[in-house]
């Protein structure tokens, strides 16, 4: 959830990423589909350099280039200790790769907590940078995703080298078919 107002926005096929950059780093990055009302808007001026860096990395990501978001400072103090541990482990899943909820639970030191891992990922305040879209069910199915499976399919396809517009249309087709 974006704190009181967004101070960063980045359009993508089918929607817009809105975020909030605090003095400590990126605190929120959430997806709003084209048919959703955007969050309140506030100027970015105090954190302009961080916004430029994030924009540059998102441009690379959506150009289909392997992108490492480690350079972006995150401000994730809103999560519980368990959530932050899960989010940290999710960041270790490589670009273009996937892991299961159970494997992520084990990596987070809670091997029997796959459902709790899913709940923690559902509370992820910075999609893409904490890549919860890369976490799938043990049987290879997609599992859940806060913004919806359409978006999970889209992000996974982009990371497999599918151009964003084509990935968006394929994800929409899979959703309706």
Distances (CA, A) of 36 to 15, 59, 65, 152: 8, 23, 28, 18
- CA-closest candidate to residue 105, choices 126, 124, 120, 122: 120
In a 3-state reduction of DSSP, which class is residue 83? helix
Residues ≥6 apart with Cβ < 8 Å to 118: 101, 135, 143, 144
Residues ≥6 apart with Cβ < 8 Å to 81: none
| Residues across the chain | 177
In a 3-state reduction of DSSP, which class is residue 18? strand
Distances (CA, A) of 63 to 59, 113, 128, 168: 6, 36, 14, 13
> Could you list the active site residues?
132
């Amino acid at each position: 959830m974006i704190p009181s107002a967004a101070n960063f926005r980045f359009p993508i096929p089918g929607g817009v990423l809105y975020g909030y950059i605090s003095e400590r780093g990126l605190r929120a990055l959430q997806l709003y589909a084209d048919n959703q009302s955007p969050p309140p808007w506030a100027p970015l001026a105090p954190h302009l350099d961080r916004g430029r860096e994030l924009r540059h990395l998102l441009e690379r990501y959506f150009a289909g280039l392997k992108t490492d978001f480690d350079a972006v400072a995150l401000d994730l103090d809103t999560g519980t200790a368990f959530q932050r541990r899960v989010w940290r482990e999710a960041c270790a899943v490589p670009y273009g790769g996937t892991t299961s909820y159970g494997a992520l639970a084990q990596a987070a030191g809670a091997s029997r907590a796959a459902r709790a891992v899913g709940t923690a990922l559902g509370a992820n305040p910075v999609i893409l940078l904490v890549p919860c879209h890369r976490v799938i069910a043990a049987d290879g199915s997609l599992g859940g995703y806060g913004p919806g499976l359409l978006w999970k399919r889209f992000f996974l396809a982009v990371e497999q080298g599918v151009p964003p517009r084509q990935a968006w249309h394929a994800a929409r087709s899979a959703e309706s078919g």
